[in-house]
């Protein structure tokens, strides 16, 4: 079977770096939308349909990751949106488990910002290859060498500049592409890229003098030579292994660097990768269908408990109506109305291939981390839970609702909305999240779906670690730390820590015990 080429990727960035703008321009370039500005507008309309998602309207942010698909040059691109707000949730992290590569957008004036780094760390867990896009060169920015060095130092990556900005801000005269010798330049009052491009034999080409100011030319020659000589040259294997990042300079707003970025993704970004699984890894060439759920979006309609589970297809050729068995329930289900997320609209999917994402409507049978398979003989691994960064005690307004609360917390943690911890001592349950927003979602869903009114109270804990090790080592630790111990939903032992320092301290004193910041589901 030949597999149509797929590039399944996400954009990681700090808020305001330009992810939305770049997304629009990529979709525009890919022909998926015709007017820039549609991404946010359309999203807002769609979201208006759901009730608890009011939170996201009020706060003007997107709780839910969506999927955008477009085709260019015979390649199908699946762009998975990772919510970019500071209050991101585990969904953001998990979305990155469903991609084969990522684009890291950096604001040229700001460099690496906290959220870029966090998301990068998640990519690194799985060696997800990263293409870097330094955005906003049409504005005054930092020295490009500084930016490259910062990426290299802060993220411990080899960097390879693939293109170079001739000046920035008021001095910006274009972007020079090293490999092809193409110079793309701004035109008109808007200073956008409107197709003004010429190709030269290299930095020494005399023709460049006709295109650039004397200053601009001198600068490009000097900096360009240093840039090419001073950094590692591009190495496909190192990129695909997540050790090297090619760096493109551009301006999403003015359409610079967008074509180059798509060309790079087409040429270098990996097609669907092998997925870690038991009993053995799943190759995309495998003929039978396998996939995993990386996200569940609940309550699209609050009157019904329907959900959309997002499945990343790992192997086989999916056809509508096909029977797949979820690893959670073990009961085969026919997938009659799968959804493909085209940028234009949601469309009913007839077929999908490895690397594609399909939405499967269900009533709560599908859980995050479930493997779906034709033969029910595999389990895809590597979808972790991430250590929560916010821990709160749950208190009931009506104490007779304990049973309902327990059920709700178990359900919602299985769905991946929150994590729940049941302390060894004391009766107050603890919920953990990685972003504040998840707490608001929790409270509104408890009320809307479970008719449970609860409040969240401060807890003395700052983070949690899953414990593993030999029985003796674990017992040694747990015997003296009982007051900081809890069980997660599956009964695994968890250490509730007062601070990251606390984790380090305990780790030092208990070298035989493993304190894990992630747990595989």
Instruction: For the CB of residue 62, give the shortest distance to ligand GDP in the complex, in Å.
Output: 10
Instruction: For the CB of residue 105, give the shortest distance to ligand GDP in the complex, in Å.
Output: 7
Residue ranges for the binding site for GTP? 13-20, 81-85, 135-138
Nearer to ligand GDP, 119 or 183 (CB): 119
Q: Which residues of the shown chain bind ligand GDP in the complex (CB under 6 A)? A: 13, 15-21, 84, 135-136, 138-139, 251-254
Of all helices (H) and strands (E), which one includes residue 427?
none
Residue ranges for the binding site? 13-20, 81-85, 135-138
Is residue 11 within 8 Å of residue 82, measured between CB atoms? Answer: yes
Instruction: For the CB of residue 419, give the shortest distance to ligand GDP in the complex, in Å.
Output: 27
Nearer to ligand GDP, 107 or 411 (CB): 107
Nearer to ligand GDP, 15 or 276 (CB): 15
Q: Look at the block and give the residue holding tokens 């890291």.
A: 104
Burial class of 378 by CB neighbour count within 10 A (0 to 12, 13 to 18, 19+): buried
Instruction: For the CB of residue 95, give the shortest distance to ligand GDP in the complex, in Å.
Output: 15
Strand, coil or helix: 277: strand
Q: Which of 341, 228, 267, 262 is nearest to 103 (CA)?
A: 262
Backbone angles phi, psi at 172, to 5 degrees: -65, 125
DSSP state of 342: B
Instruction: For the CB of residue 260, give the shortest distance to ligand GDP in the complex, in Å.
Output: 14
Nearer to ligand GDP, 133 or 294 (CB): 133
Nearer to ligand GDP, 77 or 193 (CB): 193
CA 363 distance to own-chain centroid: 25
Beta bridge partners of 107: 111, 135
Instruction: For the CB of residue 110, give the shortest distance to ligand GDP in the complex, in Å.
Output: 11
Q: Which of 267, 358, 309 is nearest to 7 (CA)?
A: 267
- Which segments of 326-425 does DSSP mark as H helices, in order? 402-415
Nearer to ligand GDP, 16 or 153 (CB): 16
Strand, coil or helix: 42: helix
Bridge-based pairing of strands 463-468 and 514-516 is antiparallel
Gap between the Cα atoms of 407 and 2, Å rounded: 46
Q: Look at the block and give the residue holding tokens 């804990």.
A: 461
């Amino acid at each position: 079977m030949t597999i149509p080429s797929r590039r399944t990727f996400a954009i990681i960035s700090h808020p305001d770096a330009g992810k939305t703008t770049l997304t629009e321009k990529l979709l525009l370039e890919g022909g998926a939308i015709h007017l820039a500005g549609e991404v946010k507008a359309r999203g807002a309309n769609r979201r208006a349909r759901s009730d608890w998602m009011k939170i996201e309207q009020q706060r003007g942010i997107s709780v839910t990751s969506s999927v955008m698909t477009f085709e260019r040059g015979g390649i199908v691109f699946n762009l998975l949106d990772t919510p970019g707000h500071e209050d991101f949730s585990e969904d953001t992290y998990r979305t990155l488990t469903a991609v084969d590569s990522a684009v890291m957008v950096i604001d040229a004036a700001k460099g690496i910002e906290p959220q870029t780094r966090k998301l990068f760390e998640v990519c690194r867990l799985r060696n997800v290859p990263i293409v870097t896009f330094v955005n906003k060169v049409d504005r005054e920015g930092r020295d490009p060498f500084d930016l490259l060095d910062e990426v290299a130092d802060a993220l411990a990556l080899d960097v390879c500049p693939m293109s170079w900005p001739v000046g920035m801000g008021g001095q910006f005269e274009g972007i020079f592409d090293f490999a092809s010798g193409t110079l793309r330049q701004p035109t008109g009052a808007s200073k956008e890229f409107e197709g003004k491009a010429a190709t030269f034999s290299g930095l020494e080409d005399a023709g460049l003098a006709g295109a650039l100011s004397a200053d601009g030319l001198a600068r490009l020659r000097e900096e360009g030579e240093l840039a090419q000589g001073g950094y590692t040259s591009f190495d496909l294997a190192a990129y695909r292994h997540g050790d090297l990042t090619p760096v493109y300079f551009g301006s999403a707003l003015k359409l610079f660097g967008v074509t180059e970025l798509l060309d790079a993704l087409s040429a270098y970004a990996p097609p669907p990768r092998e997925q870690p699984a038991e009993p053995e890894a799943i190759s995309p060439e495998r003929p039978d269908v396998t996939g995993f759920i990386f996200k569940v979006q609940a309550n699209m309609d609050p009157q019904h408990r329907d959900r959309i589970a997002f499945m990343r297809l790992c192997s086989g050729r999916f056809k509508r109506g096909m029977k797949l068995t979820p690893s959670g329930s073990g009961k085969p289900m026919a997938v009659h109305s799968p959804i493909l997320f085209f940028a234009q609209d949601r469309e009913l999917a007839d077929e999908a291939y490895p690397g594609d994402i399909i939405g499967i409507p269900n009533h709560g049978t599908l859980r995050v981390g479930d493997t779906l398979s034709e033969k029910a003989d595999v389990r895809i691994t590597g979808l972790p839970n991430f250590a929560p960064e916010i821990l709160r005690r749950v208190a009931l307004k009506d104490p007779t609702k304990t049973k309902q609360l327990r059920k709700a917390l178990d359900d919602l943690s299985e769905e991946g909305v929150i994590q729940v911890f049941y302390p060894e001592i004391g009766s107050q349950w603890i919920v953990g999240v990685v972003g504040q927003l998840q707490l608001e979602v929790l409270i509104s869903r408890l009320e809307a779906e479970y008719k449970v009114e609860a409040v969240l109270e401060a807890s003395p804990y700052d983070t949690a670690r899953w414990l593993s090790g030999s029985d003796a080592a674990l017992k040694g630790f747990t015997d003296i730390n009982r007051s900081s111990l809890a069980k997660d939903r599956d009964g695994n032992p968890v250490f509730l820590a007062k601070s990251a320092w606390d984790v380090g301290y305990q780790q030092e004193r208990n070298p035989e015990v493993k304190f894990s910041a992630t747990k595989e589901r």
